[in-house]
Structure 1
Amino acid sequence: MASYLLKMPLSIRTTVLRQVGLPLYNTSHGYHEEEVKKTLQQFPGGSVDLQKDDSGIGILTLNNPSKMNAFSGVMMLQLLEKVIELENWTAGKGVIVRGAKNTFSSGSDLNAVKALATPEDGMALCMFMQNTLTRFTRLPLISVALVQGRALGGGAELTTACDFRLMTPESEIRFVHKEMGIIPSWGGASRLIEIIGSQAALQVLGGALKLDPTKALSIGMAGEILQSSDETKSVEEAQAWLAQFVNGPPEVIRALKKSVCSGKELYLEDALQNERDLLGTLWGGAAHLQAIARKGKFNKL
């Protein structure tokens, strides 16, 4: 639960959560986004690509295969741009995050890591990525990380920003931060606790454990192990898996995701109020009335 939300009066917190794109950090925290963007622009390489389908499912691809899809500075900037694009995609219902060439992501590009060596640099990068991934987690889209190959370090953290994780048979997730002399800084530790609990998270982080699909499934890290390791086939499997949860009108799926987000981040009173207000946008609407009409016909059979 975000600490800054808990410090706010009850009447304000729900409004804050509804504001799409609200960052965790701003100048009051000593965070200056435009300065961070200028710094990140100095580290080119790779791209983050977004394909939006008429079905309402988008595919977000990390594309830097020569470096195991590690995030360059430019890719971090592009990730924020794609998140903003998804925030404004009113027809969207779901998104799949994957890496190009059958591997997920090895985290941060070491060239950028070596150049950004001061504690101040690390804190600025931390705040930028936490802002971006928090906005991603709050998207009114059901999100899936398709883990093909390896998801290491920051790549492992990115998987925790998704609602679900699907793994191909030969893939792995590994939080290698301890071996790099740091801790997760993109929000991965906090989100990992939500997913698998504090004791299991401490084991995974403290042991820098390799989570193969079977282990990840057993501790609740993975939602399912896909049948194929083939890049194209596993994407198709992931699309079919996600389709079962986003079948329906966009306004209903998006409201469902918003209600779950508020339930995770807000006190019960605020979450209930948000649920009430979301219902008010749907009750008596086209999807609701059509469903009632269909149910009425079914009951007469």
Structure 2
Amino acid sequence: MELKPEMANNLLKTSSLSMRTKFLCQTGLPLYSTSHGFHEEEIKKKLQQFPGGSIDLQKDDNGIGILTLNNPSKMNAFSGVMMLQLLEKVIELENWTEGKGLIVRGAKYTFSSGSDLNAVKALGTPEDGMALCMFMQNTLTRFMRLPLISVALVQGRALGGGAEFTTACDFRLMTPESEIRFVHKEMGIIPSWGGTTRLVNIIGSRQALKVLSGALKLDSKKALNIGMVDEVLQSSDETKSLEEAQEWLEQFIKGPPEVIRALKKSVSSGKELCFEEALQNERDLVGTVWGGPANLAAIAKKGKFNK
């Protein structure tokens, strides 16, 4: 049988779509590899030289995890070791099949002031900067693609890389007296952890340009007005605001983990893939829940969920 050019092109297109979709939906796949000049083990060795602080993860039985940036003596700035630990926690969360939601917060009423300047000074060459950029983009892209509904709880200040981290979460909540600020321009650089790209997706290119070029201080009211955050919490107390954030998140994670996780994956593909690829991925995800326990139980209720 003769394969016509149109048929060949369609086959190639279908194959390409399938491969790209599969690539996105597989957990643990980085953006950059040695083909991009990225040598992960080399940057890991360099980051290991800058200790301090920790990334703490608590996984609760209700399916909500709490990821805490813990380096309060430096406003929870990321040391090199913390960057390595963040990747370790992301990998752990990729394998947490019972998980449905995640809250990211900073210790002692501060979100994060970005990178520890000691590490920044030591990694001062353009080559080091590119390597660190690729490492953190890899990590935060994997974080963004987690099949968990994630919320950044901004208490105190989220500056620089800390502000970038908030954009990797699905939602952002702020306490009344908190602040988000992309201070990169004042440091003579631009966001390097994927923050610009994600910020444009959140608030649009015009607002993003204002926020970045003006190094604007986004208090809770201004951030809410431009769509940077989803809600301003009532309390500024560290414990009470965390409780508020948990209550806020719980309304979106009611249901079996397999359904919540499939929903998150489907939305992620709709955001990152082209239309045809996203439809194909939605089809594949339907196959993981259709006729499953949650689906059969809902059907057995005979429409009681409509009441």
TM range (shorter): over 0.9
Q: In the alignment, does 2:93 pair up with 1:86?
A: yes
CA offsets 1:66-110 (integer angstroms, 9 cap, x no match): 000000000000000000000000000000000000000000000
The Cα shift of 1:177 comes to 0.1
Give the whole-Å Cα distance in 2 for the aligned partners of 1:233 and 1:13.
Answer: 43
The letter for the 1-side match of 2:267 is V
Q: Note the residue ranges of structure 2 that are not aligned, 5 or more in a row.
A: 1-12
Alignment of 1:261-276 (within 5 A): 261-276=268-283
The equivalent residue for 2:220 is 213
CA offsets 1:217-259 (integer angstroms, 9 cap, x no match): 0000000000000000000000000000001000000000000
The one of 237, 246, 263 equivalent to 2:244 is 237
**Higher alpha-carbon Rg:** 2
The letter for the 1-side match of 2:227 is G
The one of 98, 105, 122 equivalent to 2:129 is 122
The Cα shift of 1:295 comes to 2.6
Q: In the alignment, does 2:162 pair up with 1:178?
A: no
Q: Is the alpha carbon distance of 1:18 and 1:212 closer, same or farther for their aligned partners in structure 2, counting shifts above 3 Å?
A: same
Q: Normalising by structure 2, report the TM-score.
A: 0.94
CA offsets 1:27-67 (integer angstroms, 9 cap, x no match): 00010101111000000000000000000000000000000
The Cα shift of 1:296 comes to 4.7
Q: In the alignment, does 2:267 pair up with 1:260?
A: yes
Alignment of 1:153-164 (within 5 A): 153-164=160-171
Give the whole-Å Cα distance in 1 for the aligned partners of 2:95 and 2:258.
Answer: 13
Give the whole-Å Cα distance in 2 for the aligned partners of 1:74 and 1:170.
Answer: 30
Q: In the alignment, does 2:71 pair up with 1:64?
A: yes
The one of 50, 55, 59 equivalent to 2:57 is 50
Give the whole-Å Cα distance in 1 for the aligned partners of 2:162 and 2:304.
Answer: 49
Secondary structure in 2 matching 1:200: helix
The letter for the 1-side match of 2:140 is L
The one of 225, 233, 243 equivalent to 2:232 is 225
Give the whole-Å Cα distance in 2 for the aligned partners of 1:298 and 1:54.
Answer: 25
Seq. identity, %? 83
Q: Note the residue ranges of structure 1 that are not aligned, 5 or more in a row.
A: 1-5
The equivalent residue for 1:3 is none
